Structure 1
């Protein structure tokens, strides 16, 4: 921060100099022009770096504080050179402006590389905590909380903002670069730590603030059933009841083996922190000015973190984070399950190792059970998490084994939201890469018709997902007839008509043509295409489409001709431009396109 402040102050001090030159219409010698050009470049870089620092994650800046200090030092050094080049004696500038330039030159030359000791101290604390985690030891949450306070990450909301900044950095980085590895480590660290310290970050801010009170009297749900006092460290016991940790520990230590409230026997003595309730209690305390301080002697949840630069520790962080969230998914109330699914959805979006760790933690069966939730958000989180997990090949069989297919089809047919239905289609597309799954999906009576309906009525994203899934399924011969019978051909031809001249939907058009080519190779498909207005669009695409569109259109026409449809041959021979378009494809198309065009030309020549 200090380095950035110095650089920005110098940039501001340069402004009067630049304005004086601009407004004074001075005749500048060549050396002055070059110097000002260099200064302009340095000032632009300073602005870009300032924006990067302002928008970046605090944890990332802390982890890379030496790097950014060096960048700022280099900027100061680069500013000194053009300042020294300025021929002040040749410039008609006021004396105070010249003195300001001399002062800036002196400051720039004297500027030394400076790394803030405070930032180094914080970085050392972070690395120390992460190193413990690398060794599979869990540091106390008190130390994590101390670090977070110094970084002003003092609430779930602040942690959510920090997570979003880290995720933006991750999206801008190559997925396999060392930088991406470090960022993903920090994401896992922050996600887990924020869940433990402040309760799980909700996608819906209303969830953690839904309880509003008009007085400072303690709500009954915040009181421990044993002590009737405000719970500072709520934990869940085997029966599902929540108590303050110190109270239930004293109860058990006194020799009791039953739940104080229900009288049921405790099948185990594990105490599971109720982070969601603790977060709500903390917010209530803050609102009503009630102290919510927990002394070091209180038993508190511990967290695991990962090492900043070590991929192995990154995996350990993902594993611990996944286990924590799966625990919430398995035993939490509906709102907490929804939040856990949301966090798993985000975690599964980044990296194959995360997807493997989540599956190994046992998340898949619990996510499958959420697919039939009446809560639209919970359903959407669950299907999207499964979609992200299915990208990892080994997870595909786990998803199918968990009995996910039937619920996925239910979501595809009757999902609460368009996003859920679209992601169900995308999940089917991902799962259908194996022949075994193609058979299983095709055997579900509603699956293919529901995909065709999405192709007909869905958004552009939904149509893309549907046509991709239908293409994969149609690679299996027995599914082609089912796709045709469901009315896919009519919808595909409508796509040709609607998106033929729309460059923004080129991918959808190309995929629709590719699917038509597959279906045209079957007798039912060819007959269905012949009953539509497809020919006119195919010929137009052949004449003016993109290279891939032309290739796919040629594939459809070739399949129809091979199927013995003489009307297609007559159309190609009589429509002006079609033969010319095929010759053009022979001359400039890809090797695959040339093979298809050659085969089609032979059929036309032998007619």
Structure 2
């Protein structure tokens, strides 16, 4: 074998080795599972091509072929790195990075498709069977190039709720546990270790994200333990290691005292210390960082909430007493209002709600409104004391101010996930809808916000829609203050996730005000209008009503110049209108949609690219049909 032939054989062997390595990667147990599996499967199907090339005469390969092989090898190397990356590290962090991961998969698909295209495989002397297989794989990569996998909307929704709500319901936590494969205590312990590594390697750059992820991990752990009560807590080595003295991670120890930190703070050099230790150091007149000896630019101490949250989670997982008790229920008074949970005072307020005159009820409802707003402990204490049924009764008060206090107190209490069910079970929905229709403007706006909060639970979407909330929300959407309009829009959007409420919204005349918002960009409601239109366009009645409102010019204008999210939603609405409706498709073409869509297909969000690509295909097909008719 000549040296040149040998180098060609080596190039083929390297490709086969890369394909074999990718084919042997473990199944993905993280997000983007479908994209991971599809990429592995497609790469695996390339193997027969290079097996046949290897068995043929390598002398027939040109230097151009070898360069193409090397380029494809580089693309496969990038694919292998991405696939390996997906199976490592924190699953929660990967979930929050899912959009970025999808984008990386898309780039790899694009890269491999381009390399297969320039490879000119059809010119190789290969069997018909292998040629057909490679053509199929190439077509699959092309489709992946034009359309990424469908987003996991349920995962997106659950993550959004888990980040926004302090106490997401068990159904959401169960779904996240299942989707992220954090179903056992060992899974959760491993995830905890991965988070710890992440906070160290990130150098504190992730900030609040780490605290949020560690808090969510703690709730997932509680959910797993609640779902598996048969797990013996005495298995300390498996769960909390209560019967051992666990080794404290070095990063959790104060560099000065070497003890587990209770209140970690960051100094100007970026180093973290226990607050009391570094404060003593500074009080002694020192102006340097004890660990690095660098001069401190200032002496301000910044709380390291991310690390504090991780320490609390580590303590709980390892059976170590928390350095500082969180969420304790104290009895304190500050002036005339309560700063923490005071059961005796709450009971006194409830007595005034139940038995007092109108002025006493008004004042008591106002106090409870403020208390429920203040912190999570108060929301639990107020609900446990039995305030919710009494507040629901006051929703029908003849005193507007009392009514306003009552609905706002219920809004604040509904932040707690458990309280949502209590509020609904107390028969609050019809009364809240009545406040939404007939109350003062502030009461109406807070009623809309309360309905949004309650509608986070899917079963409540049906009840709220059936109670007649949607026409009242549309009225507020037209008449409210800027904040009230946004509260109404958010509630309508959330309720419209349920298919039956889409029809209610359309029949109640929502399309006209939404189109007005789109035309009046200065009103600040374009984002909300497009989001609602995008969800209503998936319903047949919604599509018809939107199509009758002459939306094409404004949608094309938004696709040209709007924000990334608005361009995405405008493309989604346009796609719904054009699918199966030749008239709307022709209108889109006549208003120059093709140029705007081509730009969007290159620079938009992933969903926007998919929608733009689909509409462009429809436009191209229509042009081809027109050409056939003319010929």
**Structure with bigger gyration radius:** 1
| TM-score normalised by L of structure 1 | 0.48
